[in-house]
Structure 1
């Protein structure tokens, strides 16, 4: 079998499933249908282990987007990974990844959720360490260990839900939300969602996962791994609103959005800038979800998936052409050499900013207007609007570095636009980046949101976007940017560059001290006290006794003489005591 055959077969089937889900989703929306299927695998002590499938408009439309992006990514991989000897192994890993995500999407049951959830964690580890070097290995370990916290939380939810007699959480969300036990479950679900969607303090694994091949990054950061946490919380939305932890969650997700926006402006690695923009958008989804608007979070999740996958594909193609160089300071004038890729990159970037009538505008504008109408404090309002401005800031900075500034790597002058396989896969997502916002607006919301704001509040989004645009243009001009290089702002710059010290804490801090503690335990307990009082200690005592016994067995005359003298002395001592 040709190494490209699996690519074509996978692309064909995924595209076919995408069409099926699209028409199925529209049918379900129009008829307001929900299909719930259950297969009982085993029953023991009144506990049923069942495989459940929930098909409704949310799961079908989301699956349609996952299938569309994964089919584009597999088509893209045919060209991007063409020099890879084991291309089939890579494609199978990507398909396993998609299958795990589908299992998670259609599960209304916490047991089948853990299968998809753990499958995502395991396959993401295999994909992050795909290029076998130290950096990839460290990134893979950080990814899998961070996600393991979320897996443990889901396992604890499974144990806790044994109190209810069934693991079909979908039945308990409405009528038991005030119950103490469901409060505990909701906190665990929030923590699981935070680890998977990389909220503070678990954010450092997301930029580290950029060690994976770019097609994987496009899939992971748009519709699979990082969105699993958001999707789980969308499913649990009725329960979350009642929990006491929800305001803290709002603050954490708002800070994640703000932190990622600032860090992206200090970053020069193309893939990491795009990764940090994903983190910022995840913070936006999580924060609007914690306010109770789960439909808006779902809407932004879908529109974001389109332009973010496209953005990663364009970034991957540029890195490919630059001989695997990811530094944006080396790039420039791309629109002159690769105009079609630049077109896709610019449109996806502008959709990320929320430029009117592109995909991102419909969801972001609606979210910010609902925030403006909500009864919130100034802190949350500040986090939302400043983070929106920062999105514009790093996007314009990226466009200036890539498109406007001079090309700075004249040694490698091999930019060309002949790779039509990559372009075709990017065009599908380009089309969706243009129309998906308006399309989903009609599909998801059967009724219009009534938003009533003053003129200044209505224009607030445009004000912060224009401010961000101006800052982006200024910062990409190196003369102004050199102001930031002052020694007096060095510590602050370092703080922002390293994501508020989170990678240092999660890699060197926690892991180093835990591993050091483990080494001390090994040395003092396993090889120290426990050896002394168990294996080695027993061995020494028995060895000494056997030596004494051996001397008796050798009929040594001295022993008998000493024993005789000892007994006489004891006998004399006893007589003296009696007298």
Structure 2
């Protein structure tokens, strides 16, 4: 194996881990002293134009940066073993590092220009990573990802144009002023729509499961703490501007529908990575909905706890896929806890954290969110969406665990299961530790006072009821082997509708993307390569070519040419005389 790859891999892991620890200690210092550090570096100044690079360090940006750097260091260390049989491994590591750099630029930027650089960098590098395995399916998924994210990029550009009225793009100083300005409703609308494209809310949800074509370590990074959380983080930063706007009610409805839709679709899915991707989509809907209720700190809390157990879940899925010779269908797995117990332990704990089992990382944020929903004055529909989606999370998690670990072994051919890849195991142990302690650690650290929520006993116990019902339903559905064929055939149309995410991939791929791309191809063919080419580039070239050929013949001093031209002019002269 290439020694250069091992050295760049280890160096990347080492430096990212060290920077993560430095960010953590700075965050503790900042939060204890209530500090904010704002740095501004003037790049160029011409007359009244000043181009500056701004950096904002506060407890929120430092804490998020610490989580991103920790997960990316673990993922790079994991890739050292997972990607060992691939060519161009240094290119892979460089792409991952560029991805992490773009995310950090987005996190520490209070300036719309540098936010655009990080935002666009995430979209571009994610496209390169999704098409890393070069085949038609990866290319289509990459195009869907890139084109969906371009909508958000265009909206951020429009925000930049609108903010030129204020004389600076440091939005952090203008939030209070913007809140009282009637026209700022347009900026808030653009920011919400941009965040919806990046965080894959309805109707932009179809790119997130499609992005599973990327290598599994990339999926662990993208779907836990970087690309998909960028939209949520932007809305947390713009929270002051978004309060009391009418659009937040639409965001609440759409994000609740996203949560509900992803939970149902995950129960019909058999691809291991897509089940986890739809789980991510469901959790993103949860974050966006609690954010649109005006609780940004709670959304940030869940974003951080979710990052840890979701990254661990993807790394465990990567080990299982690796052992199964790249098989991703859960129907061909089963009983693997006998062969790879450590991986199954990590997967079970991350799954339980996802479900909100008490005293794991997910419980602290999820339980608090659901109690705040019960405490708020929202309507019954949103209340139902929240609790049904929580039940569905438990439902598909238990179904996944039954298919993978408890049911009989189903792989048809020879298998090679072993739990001795210590590089993968060590990287998973770091995330396992964080999945257990990060919830309580963050609750002590970032919530300044204990939330005391008084509710009736039934509402207080509602989370436990929902978990138990979801557990039982998942167990029953996963054991419906006799009726499983009838279950899908009797409700074939409904199953197709729910399995295909309410036909959203078809709508976004064939409806919107195909129509617009086809129309732009016709414009390109008829205008750029047609009329404008005929009358500008190609036409001018033909005219110049014909003239140069004509003059070239004249310069050759052929006697015949002069004789013909002489006869021609005499004839013209005679005709003129006859006309007189």
Length-normalised TM-score, structure 2: 0.92
User: Equivalent residue for 2:373?
Assistant: 371
Secondary structure at 1:4's aligned position in 2?
helix
Query: 1:74 is matched with which residue: 73, 76, 92?
Result: 76
Looking at structure 1, the residues matched to 197 and 523 of structure 2 have their Cα atoms a distance apart, in angstroms, of 28
Deviations 1:4-38 (A, max 9, x none): 01111111111111111111111111111111111
User: Equivalent residue for 1:419?
Assistant: 421
Looking at structure 2, the residues matched to 38 and 181 of structure 1 have their Cα atoms a distance apart, in angstroms, of 28
Deviations 1:390-448 (A, max 9, x none): 11111011001001111111412210111011000000000111111111000010111
Looking at structure 1, the residues matched to 34 and 116 of structure 2 have their Cα atoms a distance apart, in angstroms, of 28
User: Equivalent residue for 1:133?
Assistant: 135
Looking at structure 1, the residues matched to 153 and 235 of structure 2 have their Cα atoms a distance apart, in angstroms, of 15
1:484 maps onto 2:480 in alignment? no
Secondary structure at 1:479's aligned position in 2?
coil
Secondary structure at 1:94's aligned position in 2?
helix
Alpha-carbon offset, residue 562 of structure 1: 11
Query: 2:266 is matched with which residue: 264, 269, 274?
Result: 264
Secondary structure at 2:38's aligned position in 1?
strand
Query: 2:246 is matched with which residue: 234, 244, 247?
Result: 244
Secondary structure at 2:175's aligned position in 1?
coil
* 1:115-126 aligned within 5 A: 115-126=117-128
User: Equivalent residue for 1:107?
Assistant: 109
User: Equivalent residue for 2:512?
Assistant: 510
Deviations 1:501-546 (A, max 9, x none): 1111222222222233234334554566657777899989x99xx9
User: Equivalent residue for 1:39?
Assistant: 41
Looking at structure 2, the residues matched to 535 and 423 of structure 1 have their Cα atoms a distance apart, in angstroms, of 61
Looking at structure 2, the residues matched to 470 and 562 of structure 1 have their Cα atoms a distance apart, in angstroms, of 109
User: Equivalent residue for 1:294?
Assistant: 296
1:336 maps onto 2:352 in alignment? no
Deviates more, 1:326-335 or 1:504-513: 504-513
Length-normalised TM-score, structure 1: 0.92
Residue pair 2:259, 2:281 contacting (<8 A) in 1 also? yes
- Unpaired runs of 5+ residues, structure 1, are 572-579
Query: 1:220 is matched with which residue: 222, 232, 256?
Result: 222
Looking at structure 2, the residues matched to 534 and 325 of structure 1 have their Cα atoms a distance apart, in angstroms, of 55
Secondary structure at 1:365's aligned position in 2?
helix
* 1:180-579 aligned within 5 A: 180-477=182-479, 478-487=481-490, 489-526=491-528, 553=565, 555=567
Residue pair 2:332, 2:412 contacting (<8 A) in 1 also? no
Query: 2:20 is matched with which residue: 18, 21, 29?
Result: 18
Secondary structure at 1:319's aligned position in 2?
helix
Residue pair 1:230, 1:285 contacting (<8 A) in 2 also? yes
Deviations 1:314-333 (A, max 9, x none): 00000000000000000000
Alpha-carbon offset, residue 492 of structure 1: 1.2
TM-aligned CA distance change 1:564 to 1:32, over 3 Å: closer
Kindly tell me the number of residue pairs found equivalent between the two proteins.
562
Looking at structure 2, the residues matched to 297 and 485 of structure 1 have their Cα atoms a distance apart, in angstroms, of 37
Looking at structure 2, the residues matched to 299 and 308 of structure 1 have their Cα atoms a distance apart, in angstroms, of 14
Residue pair 1:363, 1:437 contacting (<8 A) in 2 also? yes
Looking at structure 2, the residues matched to 557 and 73 of structure 1 have their Cα atoms a distance apart, in angstroms, of 84
TM-aligned CA distance change 1:189 to 1:322, over 3 Å: same
Alpha-carbon offset, residue 188 of structure 1: 0.9
- Unpaired runs of 5+ residues, structure 2, are 551-560
Residue pair 2:83, 2:89 contacting (<8 A) in 1 also? yes
Alpha-carbon offset, residue 180 of structure 1: 2.4
Looking at structure 2, the residues matched to 377 and 314 of structure 1 have their Cα atoms a distance apart, in angstroms, of 39
Secondary structure at 2:228's aligned position in 1?
helix
User: Equivalent residue for 1:9?
Assistant: 11
Secondary structure at 1:416's aligned position in 2?
coil
Residue pair 2:111, 2:169 contacting (<8 A) in 1 also? yes
Looking at structure 2, the residues matched to 129 and 510 of structure 1 have their Cα atoms a distance apart, in angstroms, of 21
Deviations 1:344-403 (A, max 9, x none): 000000100011111001000000110111111111111111111111111011001001
Residue pair 1:178, 1:242 contacting (<8 A) in 2 also? no
Secondary structure at 1:53's aligned position in 2?
strand
Residue pair 2:37, 2:56 contacting (<8 A) in 1 also? yes
Looking at structure 2, the residues matched to 309 and 535 of structure 1 have their Cα atoms a distance apart, in angstroms, of 53
Secondary structure at 1:36's aligned position in 2?
strand
Looking at structure 1, the residues matched to 518 and 564 of structure 2 have their Cα atoms a distance apart, in angstroms, of 49
Looking at structure 1, the residues matched to 160 and 576 of structure 2 have their Cα atoms a distance apart, in angstroms, of 73
Alpha-carbon offset, residue 223 of structure 1: 0.8
Secondary structure at 2:4's aligned position in 1?
coil
User: Equivalent residue for 1:575?
Assistant: none
Residue pair 1:552, 1:559 contacting (<8 A) in 2 also? no
Looking at structure 2, the residues matched to 155 and 29 of structure 1 have their Cα atoms a distance apart, in angstroms, of 33
Looking at structure 1, the residues matched to 293 and 440 of structure 2 have their Cα atoms a distance apart, in angstroms, of 24
Residue pair 1:247, 1:290 contacting (<8 A) in 2 also? yes
Looking at structure 1, the residues matched to 184 and 569 of structure 2 have their Cα atoms a distance apart, in angstroms, of 80
TM-aligned CA distance change 1:528 to 1:351, over 3 Å: same
Looking at structure 2, the residues matched to 47 and 192 of structure 1 have their Cα atoms a distance apart, in angstroms, of 27
Looking at structure 2, the residues matched to 260 and 252 of structure 1 have their Cα atoms a distance apart, in angstroms, of 12
Looking at structure 2, the residues matched to 554 and 207 of structure 1 have their Cα atoms a distance apart, in angstroms, of 78
Secondary structure at 1:185's aligned position in 2?
helix
Superposition CA RMSD, Å: 2.4
Query: 1:175 is matched with which residue: 177, 189, 203?
Result: 177
Alpha-carbon offset, residue 561 of structure 1: 12
Looking at structure 1, the residues matched to 435 and 571 of structure 2 have their Cα atoms a distance apart, in angstroms, of 97
Secondary structure at 2:43's aligned position in 1?
strand
Alpha-carbon offset, residue 182 of structure 1: 2.0
